[in-house]
A and B are shown apart, each in its own frame.
Chain A
């Protein structure tokens, strides 16, 4: 990365993506007191951690809360190549100028947005450290490359998600990080509630939705016995969407649920048998 010459310390609004506010209410079915807790944390400037298996509504919930609180939402899907620069920003050469571009985190801090770091443990360890000053009483983001110290406005809020299901030491979150957050536990909703969500999101009738949820519940029993994790609501919604398009349920479930879940032949066949049994 080239060092800037001081005259080129331009503001980069031209390059940075503008922050957007969610206009239409994202459908979210609350399953506990998560709406109240999140709103209270937002009002107190506290960061929030959403814990739970994949596809159980964490991302949807954040979208819904951003809409409710009328704050822009910046979502970052964390992965193992995610660097601090990807989050905070970097210098770019634009024409013959060196210009700074805010990363999504910096943009969210400046704009008083909700910044959602999805699957935070996937990111490299050094990346998690940059969020620390934002999660305590400092509520600030040091942008070292620019020698800038940005104090977060009251509307800025940090939200992270974390799936404790993957039993891997490497994917554990350190206490020094986790103890900074107000935590909300997410789990698959009760069967009837989940069927309502699947029917609504997938555009299928109640009977089909109930069967999809029954299948999902059966696959969740195989966690640790052939599957790392059972089918989340998301996979059930995907299958529902295929069925709504006219695909036969067994074909839809095989493509949207069984294949994404398992590679190992015995487990794949067991899932095939479950699909055939439920439909």
Chain B
């Protein structure tokens, strides 16, 4: 990108293009004149947000354009946070709410020393999303909330951090926490059932604190294999382990250590009597029950997806897959040769993308794909020939939705609350079981 500032007439033209202002007989001359004073990067940032807002509503884009010049001129102004806050307010309460939010945000602009070094979740959400996507290979769902934890699918991070002495340190702390939560899901914290150990502790919260601490030790060592810089940051943040914990840390740092070892360490500690845990600044909490509930649902879903894909592959190409076209759905894993060789060898390239993703997710949850999952689904499963019986059952996307979901808006690079609307339709007599359909509509 060229570093030359845009002149007012260029800014005016770009705003006009984004917001179709001439059509509305409005002039961008004033906002453009204000934006002219900003450095190029900030000018582009403003235009970026105006463009994103305009995809929701040109009025919202105009609201941002009108205010951005004076706001962004304030030193240290968090333009991205401000714009995101405006968009969120618009989602929740419409244009008036957005305008109010955009105006009052300036009044609440950070000026104290702690706010200057403090970092908000909104300020790091985009970069963390990219960072985790690269680590995981898939987009991860990020949220902020009072508790720092993961259920294995969504990562909940603090709303803001100001523990470190400067903003860079607090951003690094965010990165470490996010990576640690990701590592819990990725490297098997939820693949063991901790309940038999947890119930033996008088205080469940203390027990979970220890579990979390021991898993942190194990995962730091696991992360050090591929991401030594990150592990170094973790070590620097926590400082040296207290002498009495050092042997445990060394034991959990062995490459073959698993979450079961963390539980074993807890059992030993329990016998000698446990005090309070050490509290590293990247401390997370654990909710194994919630995580394992989701994990069970995920395994069932992924197993279903994988089985259906195998069904289809066999139906299309029974010979090369080695199975009969299984009209009676025998448990194919019983005869070993019906498991496609490429799956046994861990090569998933032959699967369609969604099934490949399911297989990868299963392998992560179960440390490999158990053969009993490599069976086709039971009767009534989706097969190529009972697709598309007409979409008559699809409800018209009108009236009040039956459920609302948060959904990822790739343009904003953020999750949007209640953005996805679910409409359910009555299952009329004569409809086949498969004819229940959901119609999604995005709010406009």
Contact = CB atoms under 8 A, between A and B. Distances in A.
Interface of A: 214, 218-219, 221-222, 225-226, 263, 265-267, 269-279
A222 B229 contact: no
A267 B226 contact: no
A180 to B, nearest CB: 29
A273 B127 contact: yes
Contact of B130 (A222, A276, A277, A279): A222
Nearest to A222: B134
B76 to A, nearest CB: 16
Interface in B188-235: 226-230, 233
A277 B230 contact: yes
Given A266-B126, A273-B127, A273-B175, A221 B134 contact: yes
Contacts of A219: 134
B282 interface: no
B344 to A, nearest CB: 21
Interface in B134-166: 134-137, 139
- Residues of A contacting B: mostly: helix
A110 B318 CA distance: 55
B111 to A, nearest CB: 23
Central interface residue in B45, B126, B131, by most chain A CB within 10 Å: B131
B1 interface: yes
A159 B432 CA distance: 56
A221 B135 CA distance: 8
Contacts of A277: 131, 175, 179, 227, 229-230
A274 B137 contact: no
A214 B130 contact: no
A266 B127 contact: yes
Contact of B131 (A214, A263, A265, A273): A273
Contacts of B134: 218-219, 221-222, 270, 274
B129 interface: yes
- Residues of B contacting A: mostly: helix
B133 A222 contact: yes
Given A221-B133, A222-B133, A279 B126 contact: no
Given A270-B128, A278-B227, 16 more contacts: A221-B137, A265-B41, A265-B45, A265-B127, A266-B127, A266-B129, A266-B413, A269-B127, A270-B133, A272-B127, A273-B131, A276-B175, A276-B229, A277-B227, A277-B229, A279-B229
A214 to B, nearest CB: 6
Nearest to B48: A264
29 contacts: A214-B226, A218-B135, A219-B134, A221-B133, A221-B134, A221-B137, A226-B130, A226-B133, A263-B1, A265-B80, A266-B127, A266-B129, A269-B127, A269-B130, A270-B127, A270-B131, A270-B133, A270-B134, A271-B130, A273-B128, A273-B131, A274-B131, A274-B134, A275-B229, A276-B229, A277-B131, A277-B179, A278-B229, A279-B228
The 5 A-B pairs with the shortest beta carbon distances in the complex, nearest first, are: A270-B130, A266-B126, A269-B127, A277-B230, A277-B227
A56 B127 CA distance: 27
Contacts of B131: 270, 273-274, 277
Contacts of B226: 214, 278
Contacts of B229: 275-279
B40 to A, nearest CB: 11
Contacts of B1: 263
Contacts of B45: 265
Contacts of B228: 278-279
A142 B226 CA distance: 56
Nearest to A217: B134
A267 to B, nearest CB: 5
Contacts of B230: 276-277
B136 to A, nearest CB: 8
Given A265-B45, A266-B413, A277-B179, A225 B130 contact: yes
Nearest to B179: A277
Contacts of B126: 265-266, 269-270
Contacts of A266: 126-127, 129-130, 413
Contacts of B175: 273, 276-277
A218 B131 CA distance: 9
Nearest to B127: A269
Contacts of B139: 225
Contacts of A272: 127
Contacts of B128: 270, 273
B66 to A, nearest CB: 23
A212 B438 CA distance: 46
